[in-house]
Structure 1
């Protein structure tokens, strides 16, 4: 039997659910990880005692991103459907999702993190969307990053493919707090904030704060997913970039 890719634990007398990505060092956001996260959130969202979720990780890195093999033309539709369903579930989740991260937080890993409510990062964290380097783009990040840091800063990340450090992410407003122990910082935020409040009132407060966000992300994500599948994946360069990465060779772009 394979080891679980996600571990679950109840903390703070059941007021906080801790979800830990448990397949270091890469913690890939592949079909198995997506399904495990989605199932855990489905099971938790109706718990009347719950006040928040903490998403963290084993190992030195939050996530290297999605599985590149699952992005190939014959698999990408199913992969995107699963990932985007998870992203929407996180954005619409009725309670705060706190994300604590160290090391690399890239690609699909950053998309999942951005779907949470508040991010807490270690000084060594590197956050980025390198998809453009593979001849593709990041659909969920194209929807989430402009909401979090504005169109110009989002374009900088999405079009360059270069990561930023935790300090820059905090300056942009992507990260709530930089701390040597980001999980402890997230728990401290919980203990001094959400833990003191009514769980039912927290649900109404978060719903009010994110109501229009949920609808905007839902509509844009559907359009961007169609652009990815019907436009980008019909190009020669998208297939070339992904194949070149898997073959460990430089891509040869033809602009078509």
Structure 2
């Protein structure tokens, strides 16, 4: 993960940079947490752009870290990071190319405006592994309507950039999403007072922040105390790692 300031300290750039496919694993989560902590109180900051190296934004979270021995720690750290992003005191813009799946999409959902390349693909495929996406379950209904959220969460299908734009998941489809995000920042945020923008960001997101924090705690309990005690959750994860079809028992 790379982090640096631009525009005389007004813009923080965060870049996922973990070959291959920028998996959102423990190391990536810690690196993002450290960057957010380091720059959170930067007095001149008026915006953040999150993008990624390589052809894909992120294939999602590490499946190995979803296994029973590690999933409690993984969920706790990921959800803490997403709350940090959701509660960051300036707008966080996201530039997406290629695949934006699972935990990678959850990262984007915890931010603000999403700029997508024409070939970008978005999805929450966890249901195909016999599990569900706690953070996306909490965040998606704030980004799209309830039927559209349920479509992505219950089918696990991926959608293209134009469909994502139509349902409100992304706000722009452009050839160069990082450049478009930078242009939007310059046009709409750079000239603002950093102090006023911080207050306005907190004000605009306050109810959502409170509700998502509560909901994530409930969904962690559902995931750990119910889902991970089922045969199919463990079978689905094992089948993915063993590159075979899962044998569901529906229990």
TM range (shorter): over 0.9
Task: Find out whether 1:199 has 2:188 as its counterpart.
Answer: no
Residue in structure 2 matching 1:71, options 66, 71, 89: 66
Aligned-pair CA distance for 1:149: 0.2
Gaps of at least 5 residues in structure 1 are: 1-5
Measured in 2, the distance between the counterparts of 1:7 and 1:25 equals 15
The Cα RMSD (Å) is 0.6
Measured in 2, the distance between the counterparts of 1:90 and 1:53 equals 10
Q: Secondary structure at the match of 2:5?
A: strand
Residue of structure 2 in register with 1:245 after alignment: 240
Moved over 6 A (4+): none
Q: 1:2-22: CA deviations, max 9, x gaps?
A: xxxx01111111100101101
Q: Secondary structure at the match of 2:8?
A: coil
Residue in structure 1 matching 2:221, options 209, 216, 226: 226
Measured in 1, the distance between the counterparts of 2:239 and 2:50 equals 33
Residue in structure 2 matching 1:96, options 64, 84, 91: 91
Matches within 5 A, 1:69-218: 69-218=64-213
Measured in 2, the distance between the counterparts of 1:7 and 1:175 equals 24
Are 1:25 and 1:60, in contact at CA under 8 Å, matched by a contact in 2?
no
Residue of structure 2 in register with 1:59 after alignment: 54
Aligned-pair CA distance for 1:69: 0.4
Residue of structure 2 in register with 1:48 after alignment: 43
Measured in 2, the distance between the counterparts of 1:32 and 1:253 equals 32
Aligned residues: 251
Measured in 1, the distance between the counterparts of 2:161 and 2:8 equals 31
